[in-house]
Amino acid sequence: MKRVALLVAGLIGIGTTAAAQRPNLSPARWPAGEEARYHALQNTVRTTAGMATGANGAVTVAYGAYAARAGLEALKQGGNAIDAALTTALTQVALTGGAPISYFGIMSLVYYDAKTGEITAMNAGWNTVRGETSPLTIPGSVDLAGGKHLGTVPSGRTALVGGFMKGVEAAHRRFGRLPFATIFEPAIHVAEQGMPVTAKLADQFTMRAADLARLPATREVFLKPDGSTYRQGETLRQPALARTLRAIATTGADHMYRGPWAQRAVAAVQADGGKMALEDLANYDVVWGAAIRAPFGGYEIATAGPPNGGGVAMIEAQNLAAAAGLPDVGHWSTSGQALRIAADVTQGWIVGLIPPPARKQMFPTLDFSDASRITPAHAEALWREIQAGRMPIKWGKDVPKHSDDVVVVDRDGNMAAITHSINCVIWGKTAITVDGITIGDPASFQQAAVAAAGPGNRLPDPTETGILLRDGKPVLAFASMGSGLHQRTFQGLLNYTRYGMTVDQAIDAPDFFLPTMRPAQGGYVLAVPAGRFPKAVLDGSGLPYLELDSDSARFGGEGVWVAISRDPATGALRAASHNRSNSAALAY
């Protein structure tokens, strides 16, 4: 009867009447020493991928070992893949102080339901502001041509309507098993009891000190009473956030989109000159859809379709690799020719970003509809254009748009893959904080995209998250992030499908980043991690190149890809996390 009660409670999003029947995921209940151990891991930067094997469940993350442990606890206490994934994502935000990810950020989910065999995608991306009728005049933080930060004067017009918390509620309502309030417990514990400030967070506090001091509400959360910044090892508590999360856990996401938080958020944005209104939040909803699916290399990939744009680009790139004959040439870490092909293939997605009229003029014979772009015939035609040197632009260094990933597979074979983001440089120049929740400035560099979408509409989402199938059975769930997410996803999938690597081997193999722009070196410069490629291979590519150390990789176009594989015959799981962060892969 307890199992039935929990299942019903999870589906309707409320707890059971008896506290003894309800799981408790609070880190205060973890085995002795566990919380301290995982707090220590928050300050440990990996040099190789985290790896774990098991049969009952697995969790992996791009960042945040402590959050991964919270997700594993959800699995151990009867939660399924979506319960664990949402628990992890909620905890990740609390652990970072809402700097690279936010409860008012965005989320992309691909979910495999083992019972029905259906693969569903959920988009909880940005909505533009209905009252913003002149988006091209939104103050900018970046010179897109030069890739330079311009030091924008803070403006509330740079805020967009984020769907993260709406996505949490919608995904849990549709697939969750645990009571809704349960998945908030680790995040509330972190916010209320406090956490040791990591070296990375301390650096972020220092870098953004002036911005964090600008508004009283933000200053109260992230600076000490004397106005100084928190240092590594000191304890940061977020009591306002704990109160807000408790309210959401009890009353639902309407607290943020129709209730007290919505009113205060709109007031804060408008006080900074923004045009966001209560109607913008009240009308927000997630977008559900069946995953788009396409075969390649003996596998089938399932990913998010429109309004997500990254899934189409991901499939297109895999087809381009086949059209270019890349698997027959060798791996890009051992062959200069293969490295050049791989780098050129991953530049192909740029064409999909060109406005349709201009693109039609440049490539009059090519069909760039989504249905066409996921076909091998389109890839073959596009590869001929790339080989002929008719790529119209070369992509320069992108602006860091911080994010995080969560992938979970449970004992029943359910799979959840999530990417979520604040989609701007940490906290944003505005650094607006409302009741402990951060509001970034993602419109500060997306003016053209906001204009193209129109007032009150959804922005395209570039994330590449999905499920890989073989013979109709899911064998891999993955998610990616970072400015070089397209390059990293391309490499991770090929390493697994064409080069026979395990997920951890696929992550630890030498990887190249999003190319950077160096006019003195000819413009298009390949960026790679220092010491991972033989010099003969780099020279043999014929491309100018730049080797980046681990500290600068994140700002040099690095991509992150994490994944869990599952043997459909035995149920054996193998999870792998990022190899240049405080990530973790856990299983049992």
Owner of token pair 């769907």: 163
Does residue 127 contact residue 450 with C-beta atoms inside 8 Å?
no
From CA 141, how far away is CA 159, in angstroms rounded? 13
Least confident range of 71-80, 175-184, 281-290, 353-362: 353-362
Please report, for residues 90, 119, 315, 323, 405, the alpha-carbon distance to residue 466 in angstroms, rounded to integers and kept in the order given. 20, 9, 11, 22, 12
pLDDT of residue 17 exceeding 50: no
From CA 295, how far away is CA 318, in angstroms rounded? 10
Does residue 420 contact residue 101 with C-beta atoms inside 8 Å?
yes
Least confident range of 10-19, 123-132, 429-438, 505-514: 10-19
Token pair of 449 as six digits = 């995209």
From CA 24, how far away is CA 11, in angstroms rounded? 17
* Total Cβ atoms within 10 A of residue 240: 17
From CA 103, how far away is CA 438, in angstroms rounded? 7
Q: What percent of the chain has pLDDT over 70?
A: 91
Does residue 539 contact residue 531 with C-beta atoms inside 8 Å?
no
Confidence class of residue 523 from pLDDT cuts 50, 70 and 90? low
CA 43 to chain centroid, in Å, comes to 20
546-568 pLDDT tens trace:
999 877 776 678 999 999 999 99
Tell me the HSE value of 276 on the side-chain side, using a 13 A CA sphere: 32
Q: What are phi and psi of 262, to 5 degrees?
A: -55, -45
* Total Cβ atoms within 10 A of residue 233: 11
More confident residue, 362 or 88: 88
Radius of gyration of the chain (CA): 23
From CA 90, how far away is CA 70, in angstroms rounded? 10
318-339 pLDDT tens trace:
999 999 999 999 999 999 999 9
- Cβ-based burial of 571 (10 A; exposed 0-12, middle 13-18, buried ≥19): middle
Please report, for residues 78, 218, 571, the alpha-carbon distance to residue 432 in angstroms, rounded to integers and kept in the order given. 37, 6, 45
The per-residue pLDDT for 401 is 58
- Do the bridges between strand 437-439 and strand 432-434 make them parallel or antiparallel, or are there none, so unpaired? antiparallel
Range 188-201 average pLDDT: 97
Token pair of 468 as six digits = 């890989």
Beta partners for residue 235, in sequence order = 196
Confidence class of residue 9 from pLDDT cuts 50, 70 and 90? very low
Between 81-95 and 65-76, two packed helices, what is the crossing angle to 10 degrees?
150
Helix (H) or strand (E) holding 506: helix 503-508
Q: What are phi and psi of 365, to 5 degrees?
A: -100, -5
Range 450-470 average pLDDT: 95
Report which residue type is found at 401.
K
Sheet with strand 466-470: strands edge to edge: 51-54, 573-576, 560-566, 473-481, 466-470, 299-303, 292-296
Among 507, 581, 510, 570, CA closest to 51: 507
119-167 pLDDT tens trace:
999 999 999 999 999 999 999 864 433 334 445 679 999 999 999 999 9
Does residue 402 contact residue 425 with C-beta atoms inside 8 Å?
yes
The per-residue pLDDT for 146 is 39
356-415 pLDDT tens trace:
888 888 889 999 999 999 999 999 999 998 888 776 554 444 444 579 999 999 999 999
The contacts of residue 19 (CB under 8 Å, 6+ apart) are none
Tell me the HSE value of 243 on the side-chain side, using a 13 A CA sphere: 9
- Cis, peptide link before residue 307, omega less than 30° from 0: yes
The per-residue pLDDT for 348 is 83
From CA 510, how far away is CA 180, in angstroms rounded? 41
257-310 pLDDT tens trace:
999 999 999 999 999 999 999 999 999 999 999 999 999 889 999 999 999 989
Does residue 142 contact residue 444 with C-beta atoms inside 8 Å?
yes
Helix (H) or strand (E) holding 442: none
Between 485-497 and 336-345, two packed helices, what is the crossing angle to 10 degrees?
130
Confidence class of residue 495 from pLDDT cuts 50, 70 and 90? very high
pTM, entire model? 0.93
Does residue 261 contact residue 251 with C-beta atoms inside 8 Å?
no
Domain ranges of the chain: 2-14+65-288+400-450
Tally DSSP H helices, then E strands, for the chain: 24, 23
Looking at every residue in the chain, the average pLDDT score rounds to: 91
The per-residue pLDDT for 144 is 39
- 317-339: b or e for each residue (b if 16 or more CB lie within 10 Å)? bbbbbbbbebeebbbbbebbebb
338-350 pLDDT tens trace:
999 999 999 888 8
Return left, alpha or beta for 458; rule: phi > 0 is left, psi -120 to 50 is alpha, else beta: beta
pLDDT of residue 471 exceeding 50: yes
Q: What percent of the chain has pLDDT over 90?
A: 82
- Do the bridges between strand 545-548 and strand 523-529 make them parallel or antiparallel, or are there none, so unpaired? parallel
Token pair of 366 as six digits = 């090519």
* The most confident of 15-24, 100-109, 346-355, 397-406, by mean pLDDT: 100-109
pLDDT of residue 19 exceeding 60: no
Range 527-535 average pLDDT: 95
The per-residue pLDDT for 553 is 73
Among 162, 131, 113, 224, CA closest to 420: 162
Q: Write the DSSP string, 96-139.
A: TTTSSS-TTSEEEEEEE-TTT--EEEEEE-PBPPTT---GGGSP
From CA 341, how far away is CA 322, in angstroms rounded? 11
pLDDT of residue 22 exceeding 70: yes
The per-residue pLDDT for 398 is 46
